[in-house]
């Protein structure tokens, strides 16, 4: 069975179940506690038709659970299962709470039971609903990142070139590891932002990448600290413009 068909079937079965459960439970709460049958005298006999509403509520609950099970992801990932779970628990809990607040004629025992159920159901539904929203947002971000070829960074302007932001990150990494002084950091940052002093043109060479290569070689032991500093000064003065990998 295809996922789309399963999700539709899940929603149909679960929604019918929620409606039946709500209708049956509403009438049962209006009745309150009662008893019928047997050889004992009862303080409050159940009105006619109580059993029908009870079984209707039970059938609805089973259909609601079946709808969640039919869903491809149940309630562990965004889909029909999470919708039914949230609607059944959070929606049902809110409906019970509203009934308690707006129906003063409700029997005391039914009022207490409905209040307890609402206090339990609402958090159970909201937790899954919030988790589902978070999962959905993450999926959308992953999809957007796959379409653009790079993960989208928070605060990055729309249309910004991904390589520019990677160069900013590399520059910050060099600064945080102590490979650059504050003055050197500001000079290289001007290469990326276009804020060259005196209106000079930006250098065609990616000086950040060259210094990053020098730093990597120093970290691997291929360069000493003095050799790294000499190479860095050469790059900053524009004397070295070729890739170190050549």
Same domain for 144 and 174? Answer: no
Q: Please give the Cα distance from 37 to 48 (Å, whole number).
A: 12
Same domain for 216 and 121? Answer: no
Residue 224 lies inside a defined structural domain of this protein? yes
20-56: pLDDT as tens digits: 999 988 888 888 777 766 666 556 777 888 889 889 9
Q: How far is CA 97 from CA 48, 129, 197, in A?
A: 26, 19, 67
Choose the weakest-confidence range: 76-80, 123-127, 239-243: 239-243
Choose the weakest-confidence range: 56-70, 122-136, 196-210, 223-237: 196-210
State residue 58's pLDDT score. Answer: 93
Count, residues in the chain: 246
What residues have CB less than 8 Å from 25, skipping those under 6 apart? Answer: 57, 92, 96
Percent of the chain clearing pLDDT 90 (strictly above): 24
Same domain for 105 and 218? Answer: no
Mean local confidence (pLDDT), 76-95: 88
State residue 211's pLDDT score. Answer: 86
State residue 242's pLDDT score. Answer: 61
Residue 246 lies inside a defined structural domain of this protein? no
Confidence of residue 132 (pLDDT cuts 50, 70, 90): confident
Residue 14 lies inside a defined structural domain of this protein? yes
Mean local confidence (pLDDT), 168-172: 83
Same domain for 102 and 135? Answer: yes
Confidence of residue 142 (pLDDT cuts 50, 70, 90): low
- Asked if residues 131 and 75 have their Cβ atoms less than 8 Å apart, the reply is no
Same domain for 173 and 126? Answer: no
96-127: pLDDT as tens digits: 999 999 988 888 888 898 899 999 999 999 99
Residue 105 lies inside a defined structural domain of this protein? yes
Q: How many CB atoms lie within 10 A of CB 62?
A: 13
Residue 44 lies inside a defined structural domain of this protein? yes
State residue 214's pLDDT score. Answer: 87
Domain-terminating residue out of 122, 148, 174: 148
State residue 123's pLDDT score. Answer: 94
Given a cut of 90, whether residue 16 has pLDDT beyond it is yes
- Asked if residues 107 and 32 have their Cβ atoms less than 8 Å apart, the reply is yes
Considering only residues 2 and 54, tell me which one the structure prediction assigns the higher pLDDT. 54
Domain count, the chain: 2
Considering only residues 67 and 72, tell me which one the structure prediction assigns the higher pLDDT. 67
Q: How far is CA 148 from CA 88, 136, 141, 145, 152, in A?
A: 38, 19, 11, 5, 8
Domain-terminating residue out of 120, 148, 176: 148
Residue 242 lies inside a defined structural domain of this protein? no
Same domain for 57 and 134? Answer: yes
Residue 156 lies inside a defined structural domain of this protein? no
* Residue 14: closest CA among 92, 76, 122, 113: 92
Residue 213 lies inside a defined structural domain of this protein? yes
Question: SS3 of 35, please?
Answer: strand
* 105 DSSP β-pair partners: none
In the block, residue with structure tokens 């039970």: 58
Given a cut of 70, whether residue 245 has pLDDT beyond it is no
Tokens of residue 113, six digits: 């039971």
Mean pLDDT of all residues belonging to the chain: 79
Measured N-to-C along each axis, helices 3-31 and 92-102 cross at an angle, to the nearest 10 degrees, of 20
Considering only residues 194 and 179, tell me which one the structure prediction assigns the higher pLDDT. 179
Render 36-53 in DSSP notation, one character per residue.
Answer: --SSS--SSBPPTTHHHH
Same domain for 108 and 203? Answer: no
Q: Is 118 left (phi over 0), alpha (psi -120 to 50) or beta?
A: alpha
Same domain for 102 and 219? Answer: no
State residue 105's pLDDT score. Answer: 85
Same domain for 116 and 194? Answer: no
Domain-terminating residue out of 87, 122, 148: 148
Q: Which domain holds residue 139?
A: 3-148
Same domain for 171 and 215? Answer: yes
Q: Please give the Cα distance from 10 to 124 (Å, whole number).
A: 20
Choose the weakest-confidence range: 100-109, 123-132, 191-200, 217-226: 191-200
Same domain for 137 and 167? Answer: no
Same domain for 12 and 117? Answer: yes
- Asked if residues 90 and 121 have their Cβ atoms less than 8 Å apart, the reply is yes
State residue 156's pLDDT score. Answer: 46
């Amino acid at each position: 069975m295809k996922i789309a068909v399963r999700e539709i079937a899940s929603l149909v079965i679960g929604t019918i179940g929620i409606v039946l459960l709500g209708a049956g439970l509403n009438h049962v709460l209006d009745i309150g506690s009662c008893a019928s049958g047997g050889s004992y005298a009862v303080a409050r006999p159940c009105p006619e038709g109580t059993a029908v509403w009870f079984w209707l509520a039970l059938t609805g609950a089973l259909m609601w659970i079946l709808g969640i099970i039919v869903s491809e992801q149940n309630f562990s990932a965004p889909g029909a299962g999470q919708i039914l779970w949230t609607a059944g628990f959070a929606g049902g809990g809110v409906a019970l709470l509203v009934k308690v607040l707006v129906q003063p004629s409700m029997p005391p025992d039914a009022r207490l039971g409905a209040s307890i159920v609402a206090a339990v159901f609402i958090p159970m539904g909201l937790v899954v609903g919030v988790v589902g929203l978070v999962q959905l947002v993450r999926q959308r971000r992953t999809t957007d990142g796959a379409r653009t070829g790079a993960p989208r960074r928070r605060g990055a302007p729309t249309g910004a070139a991904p390589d520019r932001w990677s160069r900013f990150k590399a520059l910050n990494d060099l600064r945080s590891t102590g490979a650059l002084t504050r003055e050197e950091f500001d000079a290289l940052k001007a290469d990326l932002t276009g804020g060259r002093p005196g209106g000079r043109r930006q250098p065609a060479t990616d000086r950040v990448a060259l210094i990053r290569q020098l730093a990597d070689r120093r970290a691997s032991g291929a360069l000493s600290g003095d050799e790294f500093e000499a190479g860095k000064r050469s790059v900053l003065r524009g004397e070295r413009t070729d890739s170190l990998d050549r």
